Structure 1
Amino acid sequence: MTWTKDDFTITTSKDLIDVPYVHRFLSRSYWAQEIPAEVVARSIEGSLCFSVFQQNNQVGFARVITDGATFAYLADVFIDEAFRGLGLSKWLMETIVAHPSLTGLRRFLLVTRDAHGLYEQFGFTPIAHPENFMSIHRPGLYSAGAGSNS
């Protein structure tokens, strides 16, 4: 699927994703610091991806892990710093929440440290009963030596 607005396009075509660009951004982000390129490539393969382009240059990305029926998890949302302030993140979120595979889901989750205001505009709220949720979280997984026994 493809959406166009002014000089920008959002597409779900995985063939158009600039994987090295996405990897560069994510490997410097607070949530995926030092993530290996092969992990980014695998994450793209297993997700519904949304790429933002200005002409042929990728300037943003998001991916959704979903069963397409009851659950989705929004991850790796970003707009390149040079293109922020143009309404692209809001348009990206509008596109994501309106996607036919993602409407009518019982639960749609995300984790953010600093973009609550953006996501609240699209119906995301803090978890009502966080005591019911559990996770395995390995924040240093991609850091050098994270798997060693020392």
Structure 2
Amino acid sequence: MDFEMPTRTWTRDNYLISTDPSIIPLDALNDIFASDDFHWGLPLPIEHLRTLVHKSICFALYEVTNVSAGDEHSNESQQRRKLIGFARWITDMVTVNYLTDVYILPEYRSKHLGAWMMECIDEVFTAMPHVRGMILIADRGSPTEALYRKYLAMVDLESPGFLMDRKGRGAVSQ
């Protein structure tokens, strides 16, 4: 049996968070991965990026604007979504979630969108009946560490546990 996490959406003012991978604009996501302060990764070939999106649970944050659809006499409008933030779980969808690639464009920070994204992630996490835990890697003392501690109730790994790492060919060299 293959379990699929149901698609979720949340809205606030003119913002949207969605777990629907089919609406994520891959070019815009690669622009995020290419930004200077996305220091832990690099852009990917589009086919690999598509695999990343469809094999993860993604929380994509959009700014939504209404635009007219057609001529000036039309009452129809459609929404335009601009990708402004992103986070994803690498997960088996049952027992463990690894939170990674959390990012919000600099001009949208300080609008409490990161806290809202963490609340949405926490809502999905707490609804998982068999989940054993969520893990993540953050820079100690960073603003994101405080965000994860406050909104996701993340704590330091208990002793005698420790974190191990091996960089692959796609890692950004330090």
Fold similarity call, TM over 0.5: yes
- Conserved 8 A contact 1:3-1:11: yes
Tell me the equivalent position of 1:110: 136
Deviation at 1:75, TM superposition (A): 0.8
Indicate the SS of the match to 2:138: coil
Indicate the SS of the match to 2:58: strand
Deviation at 1:130, TM superposition (A): 6.1
Q: Name the CA distance, whole Å, in 2 between partners of 1:68 and 1:4.
A: 24
Query: Structure 1 residues 91 and 143, CA, compared in 2 at 3 Å: closer, same or farther?
Result: closer
- Conserved 8 A contact 1:63-1:74: yes
Deviation at 1:40, TM superposition (A): 2.8
Matched, 1:44 2:70: no
- From 91, 106, 111, give the equivalent of 1:66: 91
Indicate the SS of the match to 2:51: helix
1:23 partner amino acid: N
Deviation at 1:22, TM superposition (A): 1.2
Indicate the SS of the match to 1:99: helix
Structure 2 runs not aligned, ≥5 long: 1-7, 65-80
- Conserved 8 A contact 1:96-1:102: no
What is the correspondence of 1:122-133 to structure 2 with a 5 Å cutoff?
Answer: 122-129=152-159, 131-133=161-163
Larger Rg over CA atoms: 2
- Conserved 8 A contact 1:97-1:103: no
Tell me the equivalent position of 1:136: 166
- Conserved 8 A contact 2:31-2:43: no
- Conserved 8 A contact 1:17-1:51: yes
1:111 partner amino acid: I
Identical-residue share of aligned pairs (%): 25
1:120 partner amino acid: R
Aligned residue pairs: how many? 142
Partner deviation per Cα, 1:96-127 (whole Å, 9 max, x = no partner): 11116863421200111231100001211121
Q: Name the CA distance, whole Å, in 1 between partners of 2:30 and 2:135.
A: 22
Tell me the equivalent position of 1:31: 40
Structure 1 runs not aligned, ≥5 long: 145-150
Q: Name the CA distance, whole Å, in 1 between partners of 2:162 and 2:108.
A: 38
Matched, 1:21 2:28: yes
Deviation at 1:90, TM superposition (A): 0.4
1:54 partner amino acid: E
- Conserved 8 A contact 1:47-1:66: yes
- Conserved 8 A contact 1:68-1:101: no
